[in-house]
């Protein structure tokens, strides 16, 4: 038999921690619906095996609430691959150590620690504090929630739609890229790699970004209250915010709104870019409305009620600012009417009486706000797409980029039809043309970056 199917189950009480030392297989770690650890997998060989001593390569030990599983390497030229799926009960501390194999964690509600040397680490839809280290492999997080600490030496880190209180990322040589994040305490450090960080609005945050030789690109919402201080020794500071900037003792300072979140940015040699973002942060609104509902359920005094009223005043002000950018008056009216109802509902809430009706009304008003914002977002997107089609005479940005790349100025260079000197001249002219289009507002910074990268690859 070329493939050997294995299955094993561990049931212990109590079970507080699971340690997996893996030198054998690609691991897929998932949530268990039972209070047990269950593993199934396949080991593949080049040739059929008469027998396989599984106990020599899959070992386990249980002591004082800790289950330790050891997956040993198969030292044989005939061994090809191994893939194991392990389910972990909710709430158990999970500690994984592996050398070169990929580790994939999905839908776990656990405190997690993963150490890897060269293989990638993937996390999707996980909840709980996460400690991740990788020497040369990548780390990727998608829609995770909890305090996150990650350290890399040479591999890239990318994250999208992550949230929690504390985010600490550090990398020696690779890039750090984070999109749609929601953390109040943020530290990102890279010695030689670039940093990209996009946040939704948070309150009273403390952000720090530092790189020695890489660039730093921050995407901050227009309606985000922040005080930003930037320092660079040999690089430059650029911003798309229409805000006054002061320069004092080598520090660039800009303040947006009430300036309640402190942001410190430092790059010795790289460029610092502070970009504004007009995107609607619907997830932020939904999370705030849910927080208000939870807080309302816990109100037992006038003081606690006032805290909820303050929360409502802040989020309704934010929602009304979003509504002001919507052209359709009917949608604006829906939003402002719903936010007025929300403020009135919470202000007149009597915590001494039953609050089931109030909660139902709150959920109904929240749905009205979400539906109206979604309608506004849809209309704005249609307007932008129509603008691009009319302005660029093309159906999409990707088609526009393709049009640029197929142009006589750029295509010869990409196609390798000229000699090296001619290619260099064309490339230089192409870069200048792209930067001119960017300065004129014909393309965005992201589109310009993609065009420049396309030239660089050739």
Residue boundaries of the structural domains of the chain: 1-107, 129-279, 282-381, 394-457
Q: What is the pLDDT of residue 441?
A: 66
Residue labelled with tokens 């690089």:
235
Q: Which H helix or E strand runs over 95?
A: strand 93-98
Low-confidence ranges of the chain (pLDDT < 50): 384, 387-388, 391-395, 412-419, 458
- pLDDT tens-digit series, residues 254-276: 999 899 999 999 998 889 999 98
Q: What is the pLDDT of residue 370?
A: 81
Q: What is the pLDDT of residue 425?
A: 58
Q: What is the pLDDT of residue 437?
A: 72
Distance CA 258, CA 339 (A): 22
Q: Please report the beta strands in 233-315, taking only residues with DSSP state E, as ranges in sequence order.
A: 237-239, 246-248, 251-256, 261-267, 272-277
Q: What is the pLDDT of residue 278?
A: 64
Q: Which CATH number fits domain 282-381: 1.10.10, 1.20.120, 1.20.1640, 3.30.1240?
A: 1.20.120
Q: Are the C-beta atoms of residues 169 and 176 closer than 8 Å to each other? A: yes
Distance CA 190, CA 210 (A): 7
Q: What is the pLDDT of residue 140?
A: 97
- Which is nearest to 153 in space by CA: 176, 131, 136? 136
CA dihedral defined by 275, 383, 392, 414, rounded to 10 degrees? 50
């Amino acid at each position: 038999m070329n493939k050997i199917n294995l299955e094993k189950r561990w049931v212990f009480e109590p079970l507080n921690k699971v340690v997996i030392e893996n030198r054998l297989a690609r691991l897929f770690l998932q949530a268990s619906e039972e209070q047990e650890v269950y593993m199934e997998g396949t080991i593949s060989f080049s040739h059929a095996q008469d027998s396989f001593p599984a106990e020599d390569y899959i070992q386990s030990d249980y002591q004082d609430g800790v289950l330790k599983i050891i997956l040993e390497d198969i030292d044989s030229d005939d061994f090809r691959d191994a893939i194991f799926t392990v389910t972990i009960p909710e709430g158990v501390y999970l500690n994984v150590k592996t050398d070169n194999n990929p580790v994939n964690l999905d839908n776990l509600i656990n405190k997690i620690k993963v150490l890897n040397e060269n293989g990638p680490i993937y996390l999707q839809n996980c909840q709980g504090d996460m400690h991740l280290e990788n020497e040369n492999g990548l780390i990727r997080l998608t829609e995770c929630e909890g305090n996150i600490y990650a350290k890399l030496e040479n591999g890239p880190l990318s994250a999208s739609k992550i949230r929690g209180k504390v985010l600490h990322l550090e990398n020696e040589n690779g890039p750090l890229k984070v999109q749609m994040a929601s953390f109040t305490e943020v530290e990102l450090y890279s010695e030689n790699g670039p940093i990209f960080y996009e946040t939704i609005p948070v309150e009273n945050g403390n952000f720090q970004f530092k790189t020695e030789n890489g660039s730093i690109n921050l995407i901050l919402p227009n309606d985000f209250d922040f005080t930003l201080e930037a320092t660079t020794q040999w690089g430059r500071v650029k911003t798309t915010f229409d805000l006054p900037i002061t320069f004092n003792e080598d520090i660039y300072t800009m303040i947006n709104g009430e300036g309640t979140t402190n942001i410190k940015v430092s790059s010795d040699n790289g460029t610092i870019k502070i970009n504004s973002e007009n995107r609607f942060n619907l997830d932020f609104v939904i999370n705030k409305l849910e927080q208000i509902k939870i807080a309302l359920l816990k109100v037992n005094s006038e003081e606690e009620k006032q805290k909820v009223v303050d929360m409502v005043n802040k989020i309704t002000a934010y929602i009304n600012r979003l509504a002001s950018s919507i052209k359709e008056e009917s949608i604006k009216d829906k939003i402002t009417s719903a936010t007025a109802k929300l403020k009135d509902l919470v202000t007149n809430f009597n915590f001494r009486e039953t609050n089931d009706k109030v909660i139902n009304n709150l959920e109904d008003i929240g749905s009205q706000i979400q539906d109206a914002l979604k309608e506004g977002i849809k209309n704005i997107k249609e307007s932008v797409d129509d603008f691009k089609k009319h302005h660029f005479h093309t159906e999409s940005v990707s088609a526009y980029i393709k049009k640029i790349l197929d142009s006589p100025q750029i295509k010869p260079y990409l196609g390798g039809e000229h000699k090296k000197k001619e290619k260099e001249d064309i490339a230089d002219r192409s870069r200048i043309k792209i930067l001119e289009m960017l300065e004129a507002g014909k393309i965005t910074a992201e589109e310009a970056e993609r065009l420049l990268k396309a030239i660089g690859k050739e």
